[in-house]
Amino acid sequence: MLHVHHHAFTFLNPQRREGLLLSRRNLLKASVAGFGGLSLPAWLQAREQHRLAPKSVILLWMTGGPSHIDTLDPKPERPVENRGPFGVTKTRLPGVLICEHLPKLAAMLDRFTVIRSVDPRGSNHEPNTVMQTGNLLAEPRTNPEASHYPAIASLVAKFRGANHPQVPPYVAFMRSRSHIAFAGVLGKQYDPFLANEAARLPVYDLVGNDTGTISGGKMFELPIDVSPHRMADRQQLLWNLDRLRADIDKSGVMAGLEKYEQQAVGMLTGGRVRDALDLAREPQRSRDRYGRHLWCQQALLARRLVEAGTAFVVLDLSYHTASGTWDTHGDNIPPYGGIKKGLGPLLPLFDHLITTLVDDLDQRGLLKQTLVIAMGEFGRTPQLGTQGSTDGRNHWPYVMSMLLAGGGLKHAQVIGSSTKDGGAIQERPVTPGDLAATIYRYFGIPLDATYTDATGRVLNLLPHGGEPLKELFS
């Protein structure tokens, strides 16, 4: 069965016959179209017209919903059935405690902001879209229109674009399509470029075992008989053919697009994205610093993508393709486990990943222009033992915690708090709209901006309102 997928180079109509010129012109267009997922030449043009200081976001998406009580908002004085099986550790922020299994984070928490009062009401997973869109209606289980609402990253791609014309603005390492938000009504050109299909990475099974095999890395390989020189010849042929029609284009658009089509083809032949996703080009010392684990290698690639000019990178931190590895319901619910057996092994790995990434960005002078965010869909129940397990916790869409670092923002603080048992927000609620507004302000996108869908309907950037977190910008 033939499956046709729309992408950012659909405008080239690579499969449409054009008289006697099928073989040459269509081969060129198919070559460009095969690099689908990147933005249109139109955004290359728009990006050049609005020269902006480079800024990026790296979102560490903890797929499944990490327990706030067992990570960033511990309750050490509470009964064990509430506080959980882990101890706590002091941090660089006086009086602030976090989980004992996050010692590296504790030692540099003065470079982070912890938010303990995020309001995830309405958020769910499979798909995981409310927090990634900042839109309370983006919950497909209750709203059939939810998939139409674009990701925050897609709106950044539209309004801001990439930091370099030959890289995609929105890139994701995706374990499952239900884990990542897409462009919706903005169109396929603002969907994420799926880096896991282009990079050579270790393959892990559904419970986190390294299979010893490597996948990906073939997206950028031209057919054997198509050298970069031949690709350039085909590009020139396309230009020549377009010039034959240029005299009927009174607006001059055809001539104006030539430059940006050249840049689009350059994404394939120039190799900027390909090089960024090639870990063999990274010094061995740096690769050793991050380590061999799949998620850590993806974090290193995220840093390389930021260096190359990508504006928004999302890492889907999950082994499992269903609800996600952080969905720790209980010991008797494989492959997730409960808090001790399920969450426990993830925390040292996450501790190493986020601290290595932030420190590396800082040492390379990239941290001030890169905002690192770590979060999931919601928190987890205050009481242990859900679903008949010894220490599992169910979904808890009433309060959760998240981490931020970098971006030139003010850190070394804790924003908000939860109640004594961690079951509700006590002070300073932070909504999905507030998070979206914070990201948009960081990128310099006007909060009153609007966009249109395919029917011409005008939509607001912040459909439910939202205010940037003043604590980060003061």
pLDDT digits (tens, 9 = 90+) for 74-131: 999 999 999 999 999 999 999 999 999 999 999 999 999 999 999 999 999 999 999 9
pLDDT band at 242 (very low <50, low <70, confident <90, very high): low
Residue keyed to tokens 């120039």: 270
Does 312 lie in the same domain as 435?
yes
- The answer as to whether 15 is a domain residue is no
Q: Which residues contact 22 (CB under 8 A, 6 or more apart)?
A: none
Greatest CA separation for the chain: 79
The model's pTM: 0.83
Considering the domain architecture, whether residues 172 and 303 belong to the same structural domain is answered as yes
Q: pLDDT of 166-218, one tens digit each?
A: 999 999 999 999 999 999 999 999 999 999 999 999 999 999 999 999 987 66
**CA 430 to CA 437: how far, in whole Å?**
11
In a domain, 1, yes or no: no
Q: Are residues 349 and 425 in the same domain?
A: yes
Q: Report if residue 43 sits inside a domain.
A: yes
Q: How far apart are the first and last CA of the chain?
A: 56
Residues 401 and 294 in one domain: yes
Q: CB within 8 A of 449, min separation 6: which ones? A: 159, 440, 460, 461
Is residue 222 predicted with pLDDT exceeding 70? no
Structural domain includes residue 276: no
Please tell me whether residues 209 and 105 are part of one structural domain. Answer: yes
DSSP 3-state of 102: coil
Q: Are 257 and 263 in contact (CB under 8 A)?
A: no
Residue 282 neighbours by CB under 8 Å, 6+ apart? 300, 304
Same domain, 287 and 386: yes
Co-location of 406 and 338 in the same domain:
yes
Last residue of a domain, one of 245, 270, 295: 270
Instruction: Note down the domain range covering 183.
Output: 56-220+283-473
Torsion (CA) 146, 151, 157, 159 in degrees, nearest 10? 70
Same domain, 185 and 254: no
**Do 43 and 111 belong to one domain?**
no
Residue 287 to residue 201: CA distance in whole angstroms: 13
Q: What's the pLDDT score for residue 229? A: 64
The answer to whether residues 196 and 248 belong to one domain is no
Do 174 and 63 belong together in one domain?
Answer: yes
Asked whether residue 278 is domain-assigned, the answer is no
Our count of domains for the chain comes to 2
- If pLDDT is split at 50, 70 and 90, which confidence band does 265 have? low
CATH number at residue 327: 3.40.720
- Residue 47, domain member (yes or no): yes
Q: Are residues 260 and 365 in the same domain?
A: no
